[in-house]
A and B are shown apart, each in its own frame.
Chain A
């Protein structure tokens, strides 16, 4: 799997938007960009994924650069329950290959 680079940690104030960046300069044309998050003492939770176009769902938005070498996960209004480790992962389309986790970004939300 192609490698991704994320900041180790970020901090946000409650009820403010959060932009979590991810660099993936070696992404291939068939790689989807997946975002998962892991709350303390829980398994990872699916957040969002996309290929080329920006994506929105009830949890977040995913903005993908035109050259696909970077992406940004956007939480529109951070809450204390959004404090977690966020993982940006590339996975080939259509395959049954497992997700390979990097170190992710630890997001702290301040009340």
Chain B
């Protein structure tokens, strides 16, 4: 069964709207969570890494003020796309990992479409 739950699975909204995506680890404590983005026919690109209780570390080229990440507990991380525009339309995927180098588990992704 799924060990990482991501919600919502699909969002369609108008340009300028802010969208929040939730990622939960269901049966383990996720000390580290990762957020990826995937454009059509491309591979996953890492956006940011977050550790519980700390500020997220963003990859080069990812705007931290646009993609707000909160990892307030060991089972929940959220990604908020602020003032989304059509170019932010993409497939966003979260991933969670417990301590000690365990395998990463992935959510089923959120398809974001900005009109």
Contact = CB atoms under 8 A, between A and B. Distances in A.
Interface stretch (B14-22, B64-72, B77-85, B99-107): B99-107
A98 B34 contact: yes
A100 B36 CA distance: 10
Interface in A80-107: 87, 91, 93-96, 98-104
B40 to A, nearest CB: 11
Nearest to B32: A96
A44 interface: yes
A103 B43 contact: yes
Contacts of B45: 101
Contact of B101 (A36, A42, A46, A94): A94
Interface string B85-115: 0000001011101011101111111010000
Given A36-B106, A46-B103, A98-B49, 16 more contacts: A42-B108, A43-B4, A43-B6, A43-B95, A43-B109, A49-B103, A93-B101, A94-B101, A96-B31, A96-B32, A96-B99, A98-B34, A98-B104, A99-B104, A100-B46, A101-B45
